[in-house]
Amino acid sequence: MQNSHQRLQGRTVLVSGASGGFGERFSRICAAQGANVVLGARRMDRLESLAGELREAGAGACAVPLDVQDENSVIAAYDRAEREFGAVDSVIANAGIEGAGSSTRLSVEDFDGVYAVNVRGVFLVAREAARRMRKADISRRGRILLISSITARIAIPGLMPYSVSKAAVSHMTRLLAREWAAHGPNVNALSPGYIETDLNTDWFASEGGKRQLAEFPRERLADIHALDEPVIFLLSDAAEFTTGADFVIDDGQSL
């Protein structure tokens, strides 16, 4: 699968939340660009299937159980990745869950659940990556990409815990980038807009979804392929001078 034009050749990328949606897409494009890919999530059956598919195509891939809320699980995932491919030099902290509904009816347990995955989980994955990169003396070429959302910067009713958690991720990006700037790794964020996936197809086919779609400047959903190039760039050697940035890819939806 590797050739001289693959921009992630020689890298090992760990992707959290790799069993579907964005995480699956990111894993595929990293593998296509020559990286070894470590697929992390809780749904091991899906991960094993994807890893097998990538290996058949000639990529290096392995599936690891990963619950980002659990520090021990995060550590174990990196241990397995290192046994398989050596030090991880690139990370996509993608795992996240939604928390929708009225704020006045939201339980403390549901609020804490969103934060445990979307904020603590992102922090644990990023921190462990930075520790391992420093130990392996590869921090300068290290790349950590945190997945945020345009909901971090706009007010959408019914998405309070999710939106607030993503705002925390966007600012975490800046804080970690500044703290680690002297020695690396580079830390950046990607903030996608509304992109058609299996999770939202039914909603945007409904009357409420159609009304929301009509409010977007271009009255359409973004295409998941729009994220490919930013992800590849931010994990590549070409992003040497890019850290602390938050790339908004939303087809103008947040304007």
Can you tell me the distance from the alpha carbon of 56 to that of 143, in angstroms, rounded to the nearest whole number?
Answer: 27
Is residue 194 flagged as an active site residue? no
Yes or no: say if 35 and 13 are a contact pair by the CB < 8 Å rule. yes
HEC sequence for 129-194: HHHHHHHCCCHHHCEEEEECCHHHCCCCCCCHHHHHHHHHHHHHHHHHHHHCCCCCCEEEEEEECC
Can you tell me the distance from the alpha carbon of 235 to that of 27, in angstroms, rounded to the nearest whole number?
Answer: 12
Tokens of 225: 């392929």
Catalytic residue, from 78, 115, 162, 194: name it.
162
Axis-axis angle for helices 160-179, 122-135 (nearest 10): 20
Can you tell me the distance from the alpha carbon of 151 to that of 194, in angstroms, rounded to the nearest whole number?
Answer: 9
Yes or no: say if 14 and 81 are a contact pair by the CB < 8 Å rule. yes
Question: What does the chain come to in residues?
Answer: 255
Can you tell me the distance from the alpha carbon of 188 to that of 180, in angstroms, rounded to the nearest whole number?
Answer: 12
Active-site residue numbers? Answer: 162
